[in-house]
Amino acid sequence: MYQKYLKTAYRNLTQSKVYSGITIFGLALGLAVSSLSILYVMDELRYDRFNRKADRIYRINSDITYSLKASRAAVAPTPMAQTLKQDFPEVEEAVRLGKYGSHLVKGERAAIREQRVLYADSTVFKVFTLPVIAGNPEKALTEPNSVVITERMARKYFGTSEALNRTLTFDTGVVRRVTAVMADIPAQSHFQADFLLPLHETPEAKVNKWGNHIFNTYLLLRPGTDPQSVEAKFEHVLQTYMDPALRQFFQTTLAETRKAGNNFKYALMPLRDIHLHSDRAGELLPNSSIQYIYLFLGIAFFILLIAVFNFINLSTARSARRAREVGVRKVMGSSRTDLIGQFLAESLLFTFLALLVGLGLVYVLLPDFNVLAAKSLSFGDIVNGRTVGGLMAGTLLVGTLAGLYPAFYLSSFQPIEVLKSKFWIVPGRYNLRGFLVVFQFAMSVLLIIGTVLIHQQLHFIQTKKIGFTKEQVLVVKTAETSASDIAAFKEEVLRNASVKMGAVSGFLPVASNRWNDMWYPAGTTDQKHSINMQEWKVDTDYIPTLELKLLQGRNFEPGRAADSTAVVINERAAQRLGYTRAVGKTIHKSGGEELTIIGVVQDFHYESLRTTIEPVALVINAKMLGSTVEKMALEAVSFRLNTSDIAATLHAVEATWKKTAPGRPFEYTFLSDEFDALYRTEQRIGQLFTCFAVVAILIACLGLFGLSVFAAEQRTKEIGVRKVMGASVAGITALLARDFLKPVLISILIASPIAWFAVDNWLQDFAYRVDVEWWVFAFSGLLAVAIALATVSFQSVKAALANPVKSLRSE
C-alpha cells in the first residue's frame, strides 16, 4: 500500500514540475535557514559546559555605587578568593584570573605579540577542566617565572608539543620556563588563554588590597551547596574586611559610605550563565546575549513556519486541479483514509526531498554564515549521529503537520460535485490561505522594518559627531617598549611629510581596559563631593593629534615644568565637580598630590554609544613609576596622516620602527577601524537580519507566485469572458492582483506595531540612539507591496494577454 502511495506521489511530483519546484525549494530554503539558526543556538548554549564541575562553579560579580555612580563589574576584591576559601566551609576551591593586555613572546621559532595571555592562581586546574598534557598542574604556576602554554603554542614556538622545561622570553626580557603544557581551551569558553602566568607575581596580588577590584574571581562550591546561602554571608565579609580597608585608605566607614548613598554589593553568577547573561566591565572576553538566542530561535521558527505555510497554501491552491482526481478515486472505491494516506505520503516525499536539498544549501551557505555570525561551525555538526535522528524526526513532524490540512481538505470533496465541475474556490475570500499569506508577509515586513532600523542605527553611529576625528589616524602599538625608543621613533616618523602630527599615550578613545579612581576637590576627601574619573597618561601633542576641542583654558606645553602637576578634564568631569569655570581649580586623588586644572575639552566618546560619556582626566606622562598601570602608560603612538598614499606611508613608518625598535614586531591599526570594531556585533546582526529578511520574502514570494499561477488557471474562463466583453489588459491585471494585495496590506498593519516594540526594545541598549520615525514603516510597507505586485504581475499579465478563444472554446 505504501509503495502505491509513493508511486502516485512521485507521478504527481513529475507531472507538476513548476509546483513541485516551488514547493520543494521554498521548504528547503526554510529548512536550511532554520538549521543554520539552530546550529548557532546550539553552539551558544554549549559555552563553558565542557567543565566537568560547571554546575558548581560561580563567578563573583560586584555592583558598586560610588560618587552616586553605579558600576557593574565582573571583578572582585583581590583578597576575596582566599578569604572565602578560608572562612566559608561551603567553598571547596577558589581561583582568580587576570588580564593585562598583550605580551611580546619570543621563542625558538617566532617572536609575536600574543593577545591570549592570562594570569591565574595555581588552583585554576582544580576549578576548571583544563587537561594538562605534560607537567604537574598543582605546581605549574607556583614556581617563579613559570608559564603554562597550550599544545598549539608549543608547536608554534618549538615545533613540537614536547615543550616542558623549555624557555620563552616575555616582553622586556623576562625568561619564563614552561612548567606545563595543557590542551587547547575549547572555543565555547567565556575566557581564552594560550599562556597562563602566575597571578601572584602581579603588583596588585602582592599589595592584596580590598579596594582593588582587578581580578575575575571564581568559587567552586561543595556538592549540594546552595549558592544563595553563600551570598547571604557576603555582608559579614564586608563588615569584617571591607570596613577596616575603608577606614585605612579612605578615612571612612562602611556605614558612612552607605549613608552617603554609596554601596558595595557582591553576588554569585553561575559559570554557565556568563556567556549569555553577563555584560559587565572587566569581562575576560566580549560575551553574547540571551536576546540573540531568542532572536535566532524566533527566526528559525518563523521562517520554518513561513515555509510550511507556503507548502499548505500551494497544496490547497491545487485543490481545483486535483478535485476531479479525488472524485474519480472516491467513485472507484477509495476511502477517505486512503486519500488522506495518499496526500500525507506526497507531503512526506516533498518534505524529505526538501530536506536533502536543504542540507545541500546548508553545506553551500555555511562558510558565509560562519563569516557573518563569527562562528566556526562545521557541516559535521548537523549530520553527526546525534543530530541525524533529530533531523529525520523533525522532517517527519514538519511533513506530517504540513500535509494534514491539505490531506483532510482535499479528501473531503464530494465526488458528485467535483465531477459535475461545480467545485471552485471563491476568489478574494479570506479563508485559511488568506490567513497564511497574511502571516507570511507579516513576518517578512517585520524583518524588513527591523533591517531598516538596525542599519539606520548603524548609520547614526558612523556619522554621529564623537568629539574627535578618528579618520586618518595610524596607531602603532608600543607596549613594553622603552620610553627613549618611543621618543626616538615618534621624532623620526614626524620627519615624514605624509605625517602631520603624532602623540604618545596610554589610552585612546576606544574601548579598552581602564581604571577609575576617586577624585576630590582640593582640601576635602568628603565622599559627597567626590567623582569617579579615569586618568589617561598623554603627551603634549595628544589633544591636537586627535583634534579634541578645547572649551576652556589651554593645552599642555612642552618644557613647561608646572604642567607636570596639571590636568585637563572633559566637560562631564567639570559638571560632576560642579565647576562652571574649572580652569585654575585644583583636584586630587585619594592619597595623591593636587593637580591644577588648566583646560577643559569638549566631551568625546571613548566607549561605544551604548554607554554615556563619563569623566576623564588627561595628565602628562612625566615618568614611569614601575606599577602595572604605569607600564601600560605608553601603549601607543598615534600619527595623524595627511596623505592618500597610505601604503607608502605605512611602509616608511614600519622601516622606522624596525630601525628604532629592532627585534620587536611592527603592530599597527587605524583608529577608525578600532572604533568601528565596537559595533561589530551590531553590524553582524544587521547583515544577518538582511539575509533573513531576503529569505523570508523569497519564500513568501515563491508561494505568492504559485498562488497567482493557480488563481489565473482557475479564472481562465472568467478572464476570457471579460476580454470578450471589452475588458482591458490593465484592468484584468489589476483585478487578479487586487486579491493578493489585500492580505499583504493587512500584514503591514499587523507587523508594524510588533516591529516598533521589538526594535525600540533593542535600541534601549544604546545611550545614544536614532529616533524611530514613521517613514521607516511607510517605506517597509511600500517595499512589501512593490515586491508582492512584482511577484503576481507576471502571471497576471500573462493571463490577461491569453487568447480568450482558447478558454471559451468548449462553452
**Whether the predicted pLDDT of 258 surpasses 90:** no
What is the CB neighbour count within 10 angstroms for residue 724? Answer: 12
> Bridge-partner residues for 113, per DSSP?
104
- In 3D space, the residue among 537, 526, 551 whose CA is nearest the CA of residue 637 turns out to be 537
The per-residue pLDDT for range 116-159, each reduced to its tens digit, is 999 999 999 999 999 999 999 999 999 999 999 999 999 999 98
Q: Output the pLDDT for position 631.
A: 42
Q: What are phi and psi of 698, to 5 degrees?
A: -60, -45
The per-residue pLDDT for range 627-667, each reduced to its tens digit, is 333 444 567 899 999 988 899 999 999 999 999 888 778 88
**Do the beta carbons of residue 733 and residue 802 sit within 8 Å?**
no
**Do the beta carbons of residue 477 and residue 668 sit within 8 Å?**
yes
**Do the beta carbons of residue 305 and residue 87 sit within 8 Å?**
no
**Whether the predicted pLDDT of 222 surpasses 60:** yes
Mean of the pLDDT values across residues 522-549? 86
Name the residue with higher pLDDT: 800 or 21.
21
Q: How far apart are CA 242 and CA 210, in angstroms?
A: 6
**Do the beta carbons of residue 512 and residue 607 sit within 8 Å?**
no
Q: Mean pLDDT: which of 251-260, 281-290, 685-694, 695-704 is highest?
A: 281-290
Query: 379: pLDDT confidence band, cut at 50, 70 and 90?
Result: confident
Residue indicated by cell numbers 623620526: 492
The per-residue pLDDT for range 562-582, each reduced to its tens digit, is 888 899 999 999 999 989 999
Mean of the pLDDT values across residues 395-409? 77
- In 3D space, the residue among 15, 520, 746, 60 whose CA is nearest the CA of residue 318 turns out to be 15
DSSP 165: T
Mean of the pLDDT values across residues 435-464? 83
Q: How far apart are CA 461 and CA 470, in angstroms?
A: 13
pTM beyond 0.85 = no
**Whether the predicted pLDDT of 425 surpasses 60:** no
Q: Mean pLDDT: which of 35-49, 478-492, 664-678, 759-773 is highest?
A: 35-49
- In 3D space, the residue among 570, 560, 565 whose CA is nearest the CA of residue 599 turns out to be 570
**Whether the predicted pLDDT of 613 surpasses 70:** yes
Beta pairing, strands 146-150 & 174-182 = parallel
Q: Output the pLDDT for position 3.
A: 64
Name the residue with higher pLDDT: 282 or 623.
282
- In 3D space, the residue among 619, 565, 620, 622 whose CA is nearest the CA of residue 595 turns out to be 565
- In 3D space, the residue among 677, 630, 640 whose CA is nearest the CA of residue 536 turns out to be 630
Q: How far apart are CA 536 and CA 231, in angstroms?
A: 36
Q: How far apart are CA 784 and CA 802, in angstroms?
A: 28
Beta pairing, strands 111-114 & 174-182 = unpaired
Sign, CA dihedral 389-391-392-393, equals positive
The per-residue pLDDT for range 686-728, each reduced to its tens digit, is 888 888 888 888 888 877 777 777 666 666 666 666 666 766 7
What is the rounded average pLDDT for all residues in the chain? 83
Q: How far apart are CA 164 and CA 353, in angstroms?
A: 54
Query: 623: pLDDT confidence band, cut at 50, 70 and 90?
Result: very low
Q: Output the pLDDT for position 628.
A: 36
Q: Output the pLDDT for position 567.
A: 94
Mean of the pLDDT values across residues 288-301? 88
Q: Mean pLDDT: which of 29-38, 309-318, 337-346, 451-460 is highest?
A: 29-38
> Bridge-partner residues for 270, per DSSP?
58
Mean of the pLDDT values across residues 313-329? 67
State which amino acid sits at residue 347: S
- In 3D space, the residue among 167, 171, 53 whose CA is nearest the CA of residue 117 turns out to be 171
Alpha-carbon distance values, 539 to 357, 567, 572, 614, 807 (Å): 62, 11, 21, 21, 86
Q: Output the pLDDT for position 487.
A: 86
Q: How far apart are CA 160 and CA 152, in angstroms?
A: 9
DSSP 347: H
What is the CB neighbour count within 10 angstroms for residue 250? Answer: 17
- In 3D space, the residue among 293, 290, 399 whose CA is nearest the CA of residue 355 turns out to be 399
Residue 730, C-alpha cell as written in the block: 490593465
Q: Output the pLDDT for position 63.
A: 92
Mean of the pLDDT values across residues 331-345? 75
The per-residue pLDDT for range 778-811, each reduced to its tens digit, is 888 888 888 888 877 766 666 666 665 555 555 5
**Whether the predicted pLDDT of 676 surpasses 90:** no
**Whether the predicted pLDDT of 78 surpasses 90:** yes
DSSP 315: H
- In 3D space, the residue among 686, 45, 35 whose CA is nearest the CA of residue 366 turns out to be 35
**Whether the predicted pLDDT of 433 surpasses 70:** no
